[in-house]
Amino acid sequence: MLSTKTRKLNPNLLQQAEFADEPEWLTSLRTAAWKQIDQLTLPVFDKVNYHSWPLLDFVESEEQSAKAPSDLLDATTHYHFVSVGKQTVKNDLSDELKAKGIILCDMRTAVTKHSDLLSKYLFQKAVDYKENRLTAVNAALMNGGTFLYVPENVDLAEPLNLMAVQDSRITENFVNHTLIVAGANSHFSVLQRVSTIGEKSNPAHVTVEIVAENDSYVKFSALDTLGEQTYAYYNRRGHLEANARIDWTMGVLNDGNTVADFDSDLRGAGSHTEMQTVALSTGRQVQGLDTQVTNYGRHSEGNILQRGVLLDKSTLIFNGVGKIIHGAHGAKAQQENRVLMLSPKAHGDANPILLIDENDVIAGHAASVGQINKKQLYYLMSRGLSKKVAKRLVVRGFLGVVLRDIPVAEVREQMVEMMERKLSNEQGIE
């Protein structure tokens, strides 16, 4: 098994990833990205040495896909779109939503039926495949994903729920790409669930691009629960035009080692983003999460809130960057990074960074890494709760500031249940 830093990819992987009847523009994009892979460097995650991870340990001969298990399908009641590996197992967009011009389909369908629309946005605004080696890999080897397009002036009251399942019952490459386009003055919410079935060791590359056009508003929530044998790279990016807004709420509850880029580019005047992340690290797990907001537009505003909990011998690193470009008059950039240590053997860090190249701005940051509040613990125990239950309540309160923003009650409950399971099983909560 070769490391991410030294792995040389077989050219056969490029052809293997291509969709049937793929348009020329996408094949050319893949080829251009492929040629860049060995020239580009890996992204830097401060204080996380992930170069030995098998993130590029792709297989050149994949196993045959199996039918999705019935218990998984039974749990998809609240989801509009579900994929397992490279298979689409559910696409349940109502006729009413289709009549509004909304497009929801797998990436394989999008590249043939909606090629002209897709070519305007895919790797064109939110993600630059030339940014680093992993973005180039994603562009070249993308083999599944979802396309969601909401036309201008469409306002949706109910969230659109997407599920992407890594099929680790078999040996299969998982390079999943979701593209969400919000037309001018559209308003809607999206929930994405990413999980694993099976126990085989496969890397996972999960990319989300959100393009928010003028005056649009997207509320994006994610629940990440990839398996213990999965080495994961997440890349979620937002491109915001004038007066657009994206609110991100991400629950990073994977069981395996994870690195992630969560970024928003505030390109237009008056654009606004709220980036909220909760993470829980257990066992010997290592997670490095980078969140960055770059203010380009005048009077743009970007706020980062990251909260994490560590148990056992795990590692969790938060790197937050607020960057204001010269000319972004009146911009605002604030961030808060909090890490709660429940074990003396865990390693946590919160690194806030402000890069300011303009005078007429408001910017600030706060960071803390500490143990559980003993006064809170004492208060709860004085009311008859055991120490274990009291700790769990404190942790839930610590993370609750973000959990409450998950738009679907059933998924919010699932997130709480997963956190409870992790907390109950780990020695650090005792």
C-alpha gyration radius of the chain: 21
Whether 256 has a pLDDT exceeding 80, the answer reads: yes
Band the pLDDT of 426: cuts 50, 70, 90: low
More confident position, 224 or 416: 224
DSSP string, 142-162: --EEEEEEE-TT-B-SSPEEE
| Across 312-318, average pLDDT | 95
CB-CB neighbours of 327 under 10 Å: 12
| φ, ψ at 165 (rounded to 5°) | -115, 125
Domain boundaries, the chain: 12-267
pTM, rounded to two decimals:
0.95
Residue 232 near residue 259, CB atoms below 8 Å: yes
Whole-number Å distance between alpha carbons of 279 and 398: 11
Record the tokens describing residue 163, joined without a space.
């599920």
Whether 388 has a pLDDT exceeding 90, the answer reads: no
Band the pLDDT of 421: cuts 50, 70, 90: confident
Band the pLDDT of 370: cuts 50, 70, 90: confident
- Residue whose tokens read 């680790």: 168
Residue 245 near residue 217, CB atoms below 8 Å: yes
Model pLDDT for residues 40-94, shown as the tens digit of each residue: 999 999 999 999 999 999 998 888 887 888 888 888 888 999 999 999 999 999 9
More confident position, 403 or 90: 90
Record the tokens describing residue 65, joined without a space.
């896909």
pLDDT at position 417 is: 80
| Across 384-407, average pLDDT | 80
Instruction: Compute the residue count for the chain.
Output: 430
Band the pLDDT of 428: cuts 50, 70, 90: very low
pLDDT at position 3 is: 65
> Which of 271-280, 359-368, 369-378 shows the lowest mean pLDDT across its residues?
369-378
Closest CA to 201 of 237, 228, 176: 228
* Average of per-residue pLDDT values in the chain: 92
Model pLDDT for residues 180-210, shown as the tens digit of each residue: 999 999 999 999 999 999 999 999 999 999 9
| Across 252-272, average pLDDT | 97
Vertex 62 angle, CA 60 and 67, to 5°: 165
Q: How many whole angstroms from its chain centre is CA 315?
A: 19
Whether 275 has a pLDDT exceeding 90, the answer reads: yes
| φ, ψ at 410 (rounded to 5°) | -65, -40
| Across 146-172, average pLDDT | 96
Whole-number Å distance between alpha carbons of 27 and 20: 11
Whether 334 has a pLDDT exceeding 80, the answer reads: yes
